[in-house]
Every structure is written in C-alpha cells, then in structure tokens.
Chains A and B, each alone.
Chain A
Amino acid sequence: MIEALGSPFMQKAFVAGILVSILTGVISAFIVLRKMSFIGAGISHAAFGGVAIGFFAGANPLLTAVLYSVAVAIGIDFTVRKGKISEDVSIGIFYSLSMAIGIALLSLSQTYNVDLFGYLFGNILAITPEEIVLTLAVSVAVSGFIVAFLKELFLITYNEELARVSGIRVDLLNIVFLAALSVTIVVSIRIVGVIMVSALLVIPGATARLFARGLRSMIAISCAAGLASVIIGLVVSYEYDMAPGAGIVLTAATLFFIPLLLKRRS
C-alpha cells in the first residue's frame, strides 16, 4: 500500500477522493435532514444524460453534465409547481427521461465509448489533473455557499415557513442549493459513478444523524464518515484489486450499519 502511494495515479485518486468526500459530506447532512435522498439519486442519473450530450456534441462531458443537471434540478422544481404534482413523481419522470436521452444519444452516435463505463461506475484511477482542479473549485464554491448561509439553510431545514417569515429568500436559496447539489454530483461521478453517487450523498449524513446533537457536529461527523469511507475504500480496493467505487460505497455502508446495530435504544 505504501509503495502504491508513490504512484501518481494513486496520489491523484487520494486527492480527488478526499476533496469529494468532504464536499459530499457537507451536502449529505442537508440531504438527510431535508429528506432529499431521492432527488440526489434522480439528479445523479440525470447527469448520465448530460454526459452523453457531451460525448454526442464533442464537448467536455463533465461541463455538459453540470449544465444539464442544474437544468434538471430546476426542471424538477418547475414541474412540481406548474403541474401541482408531488416531487417524487417529478423526479421519477426526469430520472428516466434523462437516462433515455443518454442511451438514445449514445446509440445515435454509434461510437462505443469505453469511457462511458467510467461515468457509470466511476474511475477514480483515471482522473486527470484538470478534473482535480475542477473538483477543488467546486469544493471551495459549494462549501463557501454552505458556510455563508449556514443559519439560513438550518432554519429552512427546520421549517420553510418560519424561514420565510424571518425574511429569508427561501425559493432562491433552494435553487442555489439544488445547483450546488448538481455540481457536487457531477464531480463525484468520476469517483464512484452515476449508479453509486447517491451513496455518498446519503450514507455519511445518515451515519452522522446517529450521533449528532447539533447541525455543526452533524456536518463534521458526516465529512469524517465520508472521508473514512473514501480512504478505507481506496485502500481495500487496491489490496483486493476491486473497483474503487464499490469499495468506497461498501465501506460507507459498513460505517453506517455498525454503529446503528451497536446503538443502544434511547
């Protein structure tokens, strides 16, 4: 393992993994408290459509995925309001629609692209320096947003109507939060893939919820759980020659279930 750290691809994997684990750790606390895990899964599958648009148009797939995911996040919200339907139905529609767009575009372009599997299941070992820079930029921007509006987001999470009465622009902050969620998902896709990214959005926050007594401690525990999952997951997958994304998600789930089962009934 020590000699593996000497190789540049493992170093990049660790740097990218650490950045993403902290980023998703912060977001995950809110996803769990606001019961948004389905929208996380929905947007991450939608990102697949965005990646396919990039391949089809010959543009950078991560860039098109970011734009497309933000559009889907806003589209989900718009459909709920306009159609007066519940959010899970709206997510269900965009989720499958985006997958269909992705598959349609890929079959139209008739180029078998190996890299596609990297987006579906993650390929942390093939991450490029540019992607690390992008991940760093997203981490700084999203964490900055959350820190700056922490108390407003806390009040919205507690009760949206109280937040409105308190003078907070709830709709605007919700849209910015969805955009932050979308860019977080897209940069995380390179690490664990479209299929498993929702694990990083849900499990660290769920683990933190078992212990936390305040919002700040919940965010800190969530980040720590995410960080431990990525580091242990990478080491285990290197030792056993396993897909890193799967190793990370299996570790995250283990870190959730062990304290859950050991926890005394209160």
Chain B
Amino acid sequence: MSIAVEIDSLTVKIKNKDVLKNVSFTLEEGLFLGIVGPNAGGKTTLVRTILGLARPSSGSVRVFGKSPEGHLVRGGAFGYLPQHQNIDPGFPASVIDIVLMGRYNAVGFFRWPGKKDTDKALRSLAVMGVEDLKDAQYTHLSGGQQQRVSIARALAGDPRVLILDEPSTGIDVVGQEDFYHLLKGLQKKMNLTILMVSHDIGTVTTYVDEIACLNINLYYHGNPLGALNEKVLTSLYGKNVDLLLHTDVCEKCERLR
C-alpha cells in the first residue's frame, strides 16, 4: 500500500501563535482517518495545510509524494467539504449545477461540462441518496441535504482523497450513523482515502480505521480504540473528562436488573 499523506514535524503559526506544533504522522492510501480534538485545536488548519490552502511555518507535508502546492496547480486530487459554506441565500444554482462544479477540473479550461459529466454528477447524487433533488434549488435544501449534495460534488471529480471538515453538522444523531456508514461504504468501494474532522469522538471511533487526536500538538495517532482512555482524552480536552463506553450490553442496566 502506498502512503497517501505524510506529515513531518509540521508547525503552522498564525499571527505568531502556534496553531499546530510539531505534528508528524503518515496515513496509508485507502484508510479512513478521523481527526478529533477541541475547538481551536488546529483541526481545520491541518486539513487546509494538506490541501495547500495554508502554508507550513516549518516541517513538511507530502500527499502521494508531492507537495500540496503541486497538487493545487493541477487540481483534482482532493474532494473537499469545507466546514462553513457561507453561501448567499439567493445563490442561483440547482443541485446538479453544484455537483457539476466537482467536474470542472476534469472538464478543463474553455469547455463546459458535457453529458458524460452530467451522468457522473447524477451517479454521485445517487451514491449519496439524493438524486431526486437534482433539479431543486440548492439554497432551498435543508442543512443535511446540502451536506449530502456537497459530498456528491466532492465525489464527482473522482478524487483520491476525500477531506470532510465537520460533515455531521446539520445532520441529526440517527442520520449521522447512516452517514458514517455511507462513508465507510464509499471508502471500500472506491478505494478512497478519507480524512474527516469531527468534534464527536464517540461515534467516529466506530467507523474510522485510524484516529488523530489534535490539540495544537498531536496527542495520539493510531487505532481508534486506543484513544479511548482517560490519559489521552484528559490531555486532549483537559480535566473533567467522563468516559462513557457504549457496548452492546449496558452495564448500568444490567446492574439494575
């Protein structure tokens, strides 16, 4: 298996303050990585650095052996779902228009998406289970529907790496489990490398292959179950962390019987 992302002693400073400090890890191709940690812990900065949108102050980032800036020039390596979309409520685009944006890199300059691109966009919508929304106005959709359409957009360009920043915002708890399940299926089917930022450490651990616990420093990287101990969580989130383990049998209920 080849290495998808290789990060070596990465430090990123914004306004002379460390946002990320001495972070190193590697991620193999085809794995699903969850990036968790408290707010302002540098999660978004880490993915932006991998995408080439933020620059390292020191250290290096390689994606499939190339610098992120190299990937930016060509485009198309990443499917990206930003955390905040801040979209104008009157933005004139149907759902299919938005998903076709994901094809622009493949279409190239001075051309407009053709039938092949439309078919690809419709398949991406079908994968996300929202193909019936194709002609709806994007801004009329609910938060959860917009999220699915945006991931369909990110998938439409056949990316090698899918980067999702807090994708479960706007999706209810039951929907979240389905959603993670769907991502897991995509990972296997398309041999996608997935990086997902989340503040919800609980549910994420069930679905991801590896987890990175980030609070400026990288506190833990590896098997998700290894992160669920009090030492890691206390250093990550500070004191007063209460660890609740969800198992098939609820211990408290058993005791009450």
Q: A: which residues have CB within 8 A of B?
A: 33, 35, 148-152, 154-155, 157-159, 161-162, 164-168, 209, 212-215, 217-218
* Contact among B72, B87, B92, B112 for A214, CB-based, below 8 A: B92
Known A-B contacts A214-B93, A217-B92; the reply to A158 vs B104 at CB < 8 A is: no
Q: A161 contacts B80, CB within 8 Å? A: yes
* Contact among B90, B102, B105, B113 for A167, CB-based, below 8 A: B105
**B91-106 residues at the A interface, CB under 8 angstroms:** 91-94, 97-98, 101-102, 104-105
Known A-B contacts A158-B87, A166-B157, A168-B75; the reply to A213 vs B137 at CB < 8 A is: yes
Chain A residues contacting B91 (CB-CB under 8 Å) are 33, 157-158
Chain A residues contacting B137 (CB-CB under 8 Å) are 213
- Complex-state Cα separation, A212 to B137, whole angstroms: 10
Looking at A148, A157, A159, which has the most chain B CB atoms within 10 Å of its CB? Answer: A159
- Interface flag for B144 (CB, 8 Å): no
Q: B94 contacts A214, CB within 8 Å? A: yes
Per the CB 8 Å criterion, the residue count for chain B at the interface is 33
The interface residues of chain B, by DSSP majority, are classed as loop
Q: Which residue of B lies closest to A84 (CB)?
A: B15
- Interface flag for B38 (CB, 8 Å): no
Chain B residues contacting A33 (CB-CB under 8 Å) are 88, 91-92
Chain B residues contacting A150 (CB-CB under 8 Å) are 112
* Contact among A148, A167, A213 for B94, CB-based, below 8 A: A213
Q: Which residue of A lies closest to B111 (CB)?
A: A151
Q: B93 contacts A215, CB within 8 Å? A: yes
* Contact among B82, B87, B92, B101 for A155, CB-based, below 8 A: B101
- Complex-state Cα separation, A167 to B93, whole angstroms: 21
Chain A residues contacting B101 (CB-CB under 8 Å) are 151, 154-155, 158, 162, 166
Q: A167 contacts B82, CB within 8 Å? A: no
Q: A166 contacts B53, CB within 8 Å? A: no
Q: B72 contacts A164, CB within 8 Å? A: yes
Pick 20 A–B contacts, CB within 8 A, sort by A.
A33-B91, A35-B88, A151-B107, A151-B113, A155-B104, A158-B87, A158-B101, A164-B51, A164-B53, A165-B75, A165-B80, A166-B105, A167-B73, A167-B74, A167-B75, A212-B92, A213-B137, A214-B94, A214-B97, A215-B97
A198 CB to closest chain B CB (Å) equals 19
Q: A215 contacts B75, CB within 8 Å? A: no
Known A-B contacts A158-B98, A161-B53; the reply to A218 vs B72 at CB < 8 A is: no
A51 CB to closest chain B CB (Å) equals 34
- Interface flag for B76 (CB, 8 Å): yes
Chain A residues contacting B102 (CB-CB under 8 Å) are 166
New contact pairs (12) apart from A158-B101, A167-B73, CB-CB < 8 Å: A151-B104, A151-B107, A161-B53, A164-B72, A165-B51, A165-B72, A165-B75, A166-B157, A167-B76, A213-B137, A214-B94, A218-B92
* Contact among B48, B92, B104, B113 for A166, CB-based, below 8 A: B104
Chain A residues contacting B112 (CB-CB under 8 Å) are 150-151
Q: B72 contacts A167, CB within 8 Å? A: yes
Chain B residues contacting A164 (CB-CB under 8 Å) are 51-53, 72
Known A-B contacts A151-B107, A212-B92; the reply to A166 vs B75 at CB < 8 A is: yes
* Contact among A152, A159, A213 for B92, CB-based, below 8 A: A213
Known A-B contacts A155-B101, A155-B104, A213-B137; the reply to A165 vs B78 at CB < 8 A is: yes
Q: B64-77 interface mask toward A, CB cutoff 8 Å, 1 = contact, 0 = none? A: 00000000111110
